[in-house]
Amino acid sequence: MKIYPLGDAAAVVELGAEISEAVHRKVKALSMRLEAQPIPGMIEYVPAFTTVTVFYDPYRVLKEMGAQLSETGISKGVSPYRKVYNILEQMATDIGDEAESTVRVIEIPVCYGEEFGPDLEFVANHNGLTPEEVIRIHSSAEYLVYMVGFAPGFPYLGGMPEAIAAPRRPSPRLAIPAGSVGIAGKQTGVYPIETPGGWQIIGRTPIALFVPDSNPPTILASGDRICFRPISRQEYMERKEGNR
Amino acid sequence: MGIKVLRAGLQTTVQDLGRYGFQQHGVIVSGAMDTFALRMANLLVGNDEGEAALEITLMGPRLEFEQDALIAICGADLSAKIDGVPARQWCPVYIKKGSILSFGGCVFGCRAYLAVAGGFAVKEVLNSRSTYLRAEIGGYFGRALQEGDELTIGLPAEWSGRKIQKLAEQDAGMSPLGWGISVDVFPNYDTNPMIRVVRGAQFNCFEQESRDEFLSSPFKVLPQSDRMGYRLKGPKLELSEPLEMISEAVASGTVQVPPEGQPIVLLADRQTAGGYPKIAQIISVDLPVIAQTKPGESLRFQIVSLEEAEALYVAREMQIEQVRRAIALRYQ
């Protein structure tokens, strides 16, 4: 484990050197501890593949920990980062696998191909498969949400079979519709809002991954497991209608 | 009743101090680029420092006040005028119903903040009124202001409300209240400023020559710089050896270097995670300074220790507390 500053108002706890489920479990365990017991002056924490970053207000850290302040500022030798470091070090030393018990499995319905998945054909040809085989492979794996980022509710997923890996498009599309399911390299993901992007788009889900009026505002969270279920065009339309 | 937008300006958005607590869901922080100016503008009109205000970029809007109001404009000097008369900045100004607030040429800076006593009554989304343009949420219907928009003003604090009423009874015209923020507490605002940084996590992974050049050469702010980040042009910054980076959280002021070797400073509308090497991190008290630089200007970076950055942070906050107390006395 390593802890280092991200400027004067954030600290990063690094819990491993490579992307793996074991490191992810530590990330999740530390996140759960921070959720249950926020450190003094903490604003928020952000879990990633191998790290948890804690954003804090240095002034509040000192005030909430009762540190001595002179009339114009910090007393010599007092550092908010040091205080945060000490707490985080203690919190992160004895984390285990406590996260395992709370795994959620979320099913994402996807209408593959045609206008919803203009690149399904490309992914199939690239791997010497039929589009039906790509759909079967993509929808029979279980994926782990390592982290959420890039866009609100966008899951970085692990677990895609390499048999359907495909390179990014040579030039990104200017607008990929919300709900699009794509493949880039060995990764798959779902676009929660319309954004530009270079992923190969193989289908679209009718469910909204980003719901700004609710809390939490996203369907998926770091640590969730998801699977994709193929649906017909008709079911897509019905589900989409039901969202309105 | 409220404020009518006669002309929108280049990019005028509703912002507060940001949408915190949802980065783990991929929701960006947003908020004012120059948080110091926004906080001061709010305090001056008797608001909570984090109330929603307008962030006005380079070319300002033309606004008609449909009610008497107390306003404050802080940050960039964009030649604000009330009914054609130059309006004082960094101080509360009474503005009469029917007056028109307009902006002219940019004298200094890039972003001005307009606060009104009572704030702007827009819907809070995920605990913030900041505009998140890409997701089309927050602020004024999730977008920048347009001609014809009508902004509603909230209920002023008791003290500023009394002040407005008194001036209205006296049938006063536009009147600055005669006190304001002293330049002594300003951030180091400057054209072509020096920006202080602490070392980034990958600082030592850069070639010695690149590290030296980062701290000695000017970097030009490129035209494609915006609220998401500033793209800089200067000497090419190179890693000593290729680095396998894994995406992780980034912060406002993170200076990251993509493979082409030109740094990008991440700012208010940054994505929540990034995977480029971080050469440096701008210290918090200098974020308002970079927020006021505009494309075409040059920046230089100066390294300070984390302890210095922390001391400056705490000193700034204590100064702001003093300002808050002094303003409360003024309104008594």
pLDDT digits (tens, 9 = 90+) for B247-288: 999 999 999 999 999 999 999 999 999 889 999 999 999 999
pLDDT mean across residues, chain A: 92
A148–B26 C-beta distance less than 8 A: yes
Q: Are residues B117 and B60 in the same domain?
A: yes
B41 and B160 inside one domain: yes
A175 touches chain B (CB under 8 A): no
Contact A8 B134 (CB under 8 A): no
Distance CA B251, CA B249 (A): 7
**DSSP 8-state symbol, B317:** H
CA B178 to chain CA centroid, Å, is 24
Q: Which two tokens stand for residue A213?
A: 């009026």
Q: What is the longest distance spanned by two Cα atoms in chain A? A: 73
Q: What secondary structure letter does DSSP report for B84?
A: T
Out of B151-155, B159-163, B202-206, pick the least confident. B159-163
In single-letter form, the type of residue at position A232 comes to S
Pinpoint the residues of chain A covered by CATH 3.30.1360.40: 2-100
CA-based nearest residue to A204, from A115, A126, A130, A98 = A115
* For residues A37-51, average pLDDT: 96
- In the block, tokens 């927020």 appear at B291
**What's the whole-number mean pLDDT along residues B193-209?**
98
Q: How far is CA A122 from the centre of its chain?
A: 27
Taking one residue from A and the other from B, the number of pairs with CB-CB distance under 8 angstroms is 154
* Residue B327 counted as domain residue: no
Cis peptide before A216 (omega within 30 of 0): yes
**Class of the CATH-defined domain A2-100:** alpha beta
Residues B225 and B132 in one domain: no
Confidence tier at A100 by pLDDT (50, 70, 90): low
Residue A215, pLDDT score: 85
Quote the distance between the C-alpha of residue A114 and its chain's center. Answer: 28
Q: How confident is the model at residue A102 (pLDDT cuts 50, 70, 90)?
A: low
Residue of B nearest to A151 (CA): B26
Partner residue facing B23 (CB), from A18, A44, A51: A44
Instruction: Note if the pTM is more than 0.90.
Output: yes
**So what's the pLDDT on residue A244?**
58
Distances (CA, A) of A141 to A134, A205, A226, B76: 11, 17, 9, 54
> Is-contact B111 B56, C-beta < 8 A?
yes
Closest approach of chain B CAs to the CA of A130, in angstroms? Answer: 33
Question: Cβ separation of A5 and B282 shorter than 8 Å?
Answer: no
Amino acid of residue B128: S
Question: Which residues of chain B have a CB within 8 Å of the CB of A150?
Answer: 26, 271-273
Position B116 in a domain: yes
Q: B177 and B30 in one domain? A: yes
- Tokens standing for B329? 């006395």
Residue B234 confidence (pLDDT):
98
Q: Mark yes or no for CB contact A48/B246 under 8 Å.
A: yes
For B162-227, the three-class secondary structure string (H helix, E strand, C coil) is: HHHHHHHHCCCCCEECCCCCCHHHCCCCCCCCEEEEEECCCHHHECHHHHHHHHHCCEEECCCCCC
Is pLDDT above 90 for B7?
yes
- Judge: B283–A6 Cβ closer than 8 Å, yes or no: no
Q: Does B203 lie in the same domain as B176?
A: no
User: Same domain for B91 and B209?
Assistant: no
Taking CB atoms and an 8 Å limit, are A6 and B254 in contact across chains?
yes
From CA B228, how far away is CA B136, in angstroms rounded? 15
CB B276 within 8 A of CB B258: yes
Beta-carbon separation of A10 and B271 below 8 A: no
Burial of B277-293, coded b for 16+ CB within 10 Å and e otherwise, reads: bbbbbbbbbbbbbbbbb
Test the A interface: residue of B17, B20, B22, B25 with most A CBs within 10 Å = B25
- Shortest distance between the Cα of A128 and any Cα of chain B, in A, equals 31
Q: Is residue B168 part of a domain?
A: yes
Last residue of a domain, one of B153, B181, B209: B181
- Considering the domain boundaries, does residue B153 fall inside one? yes
| Enclosing domain of residue B111 | 3-181
Is it the case that residue A83 has pLDDT exceeding 70?
Answer: yes
**Number of CB atoms found within 10 A of residue B97's CB:** 12
pLDDT of residue A141: 96
Q: Which residues of A touch B30 (CB under 8 A)?
A: none
Q: Give CA–CA dist A209/A186, Å, rounded.
A: 22
Say whether both B154 and B264 belong to one domain: no
Pick the residue from chain B with its C-alpha nearest to A61: B314
Token pair, residue A102, equals 């709370």
Chain B positions in Cβ-Cβ contact with residue A149 (cut-off 8 Å)? 23, 26, 247, 271-273
**What residues pair up with B151 in beta bridges, in sequence order?**
B3
Tell me the mean pLDDT in the region B15-21.
Answer: 97
Check residue B117 and give its pLDDT: 97
If one counts the domains in chain B, the total is 2
- Extract the tokens encoding B180: 């304001």
For residue B85, the Cα-to-chain-centroid distance in whole angstroms is 25
Q: What residues of chain A lie within 8 A of the CB of B27, using their CB?
A: 152, 217-218
Beta bridge pairs of residue B152: none
Please, which residues bridge with residue B62 across strands? B7
Q: Give the C-alpha separation, A130 to A123, whole Å.
A: 9
B13 and B150, same domain (yes or no): yes
The pLDDT, as a whole number, for residue B173 is 85
Whether the Cβ atoms of residue A141 and residue A160 lie closer than 8 Å to each other: yes
Of B155, B150, B168, B152, the residue nearest B118 (C-alpha): B155
Average pLDDT over residues A144-166: 92
Contact at CB, A6 and B282, closer than 8 angstroms: no
Residues B310, A213: C-beta atoms closer than 8 Å: no
Q: What is the mean pLDDT of chain B?
A: 96
Torsion of CA A88, A92, A93, A96, to 10 degrees: 160
Q: Which residues of B lie inside 8 Å of A (Cβ-Cβ)?
A: 20-28, 125-126, 134-135, 137, 198, 201, 246-251, 253-254, 271-273, 278, 281-284, 306-307, 309-311, 313-315, 317-318
pLDDT of residue A101: 59
Query: Which residue, among B131, B164, B141, has the nearest Cα to B29 in the 3D structure?
Result: B131
Counted residue by residue, chain B has a size of: 332
Among B181, B216, B234, the domain boundary falls at B181
Q: Same domain, yes or no, for B163 and B214?
A: no
Cβ under 8 Å to B: A residues 93-132: none
- pLDDT of A87 strictly over 60: yes
Query: What are the backbone angles phi and psi of residue A123, rounded to the nearest 5°?
Result: -60, -40
Burial letters for B30-65: b for 16+ Cβ neighbours within 10 Å, e otherwise?
A: bbbbbbbbbbbbbbbbbbebbbbbbbbbbbbbbbbb
Mean pLDDT of all residues in B78-94 = 97
Claim to verify: residue B88 and residue B11 sit in the same structural domain? yes
Percent of chain A with pLDDT over 90: 76
* Residues B116, A81: Cα–Cα separation, whole Å: 36
Q: Is residue B56 part of a domain?
A: yes
Q: Could you give the CA distance from residue B255 to residue B199 in angstroms, rounded to a whole number?
A: 10
Are the C-beta atoms of A11 and A4 separated by less than 8 Å? yes
- Domain-terminating residue out of B181, B210, B236: B181
Above 60 in pLDDT, residue A58? yes
Angle between helices B35-44 and B306-330 (to 10 degrees): 20
Kindly report, residue by residue over B228-251, the tens digit of the pLDDT: 999 999 999 999 998 888 899 999
pLDDT tens string B30-65: 999 999 999 999 999 999 999 999 999 999 999 999
Give A151's contacts in chain B (Cβ within 8 Å).
Answer: 26, 134-135, 271
Return residue ranges of chain A for CATH 2.40.100.10. Answer: 103-243
Q: Is residue B87 domain-resident?
A: yes
Residue A68 CA to residue A66 CA, distance in Å, equals 7
In terms of domains, do B92 and B224 share one?
Answer: no
Q: Give the pLDDT band of residue A188 (cuts 50, 70, 90).
A: very high
Those of residues 220-239 in A touching chain B at CB distance below 8 A are 221-222
Residue with tokens 């912002």: B15
Tokens of B291: 């927020």
Instruction: Judge whether B53 lies within some domain.
Output: yes
From B270, which residue of chain A is nearest by alpha-carbon distance?
A150
Set of chain B residues whose Cβ sits within 8 Å of the Cβ of A193: 134-135
Look at residue A112 in the predicted model and tell me its pLDDT.
98
Query: Torsions phi, psi of B154, nearest 5?
Result: -80, -175
Q: Report yes or no on B143 lying in a domain.
A: yes
**Which residues between 191 and 210 in chain A have a beta carbon less than 8 angstroms from any beta carbon of chain B?**
192-193, 195, 210
Probe site for chain B from A45, A46, A71, A150 (most B CB atoms < 10 A) = A46
- CATH number, domain of B217, equals 2.40.100.10
Answer for the pair B310, B284: CB distance below 8 angstroms, yes or no.
no
CA dihedral B245, B246, B249, B252 (to 10 degrees): 20
Region of residue A169 (phi > 0: left; psi between -120 and 50: alpha; otherwise: beta): beta
Q: CATH for A103-243?
A: 2.40.100.10
The one-letter amino acid code at A111 reads C
Q: Do B168 and B240 belong together in one domain?
A: no
Displacement of CA B9 from its chain's centroid (Å): 16
Q: Which of A2, A3, A8 to mutate to test the interface with B (most CBs of B within 10 A)?
A: A8
Check: CB of residue A205 under 8 Å from CB of residue A190: yes
By C-alpha distance, the chain A residue nearest B312 is: A73
